[in-house]
Amino acid sequence: MDNEFIITIDDRGRITIPKEVRGLIRSKKFKLKIDGSKIILDPIVIDINKYYGIFRKDLGDIDIDNLLKDELAEVLLNDE
């Protein structure tokens, strides 16, 4: 597999990642960086295990994994 692909940005600003590339990528969330005229996508990898045991109370039916992913993604977006 080559490591170069030609992609197109549609009218709504979306791009499609080729299937061959998606098969190699484990993350579904990325931090987008602009470096001059380059666009860099860094995968956001969240290690949920490092947060094991930090909650001291029963949170009921809340999905902790999704809660942590959303909150950590927000923190990473605001990380300068």
Contact (CB, 8 A) for 33 and 42: yes
Banded pLDDT at 10 (limits 50, 70, 90): very high
Of the candidates 79, 80, 58, 72, which has an alpha carbon nearest to the alpha carbon of residue 29?
Answer: 72
Q: Answer with the residue of higher pLDDT: 20 or 78.
A: 20
Single-letter residue type at 24: L
The pLDDT confidence band at residue 2, using thresholds 50, 70 and 90, is low
Under the banding of pLDDT at 50, 70 and 90, the label for residue 12 is very high
Reported as a single tens digit per residue, the pLDDT across 16-66 is: 999 888 888 878 888 999 999 999 998 887 777 777 777 666 667 778 788
- How many residues are there in the chain? 80
Alpha-carbon span 70 to 73, nearest angstrom: 5
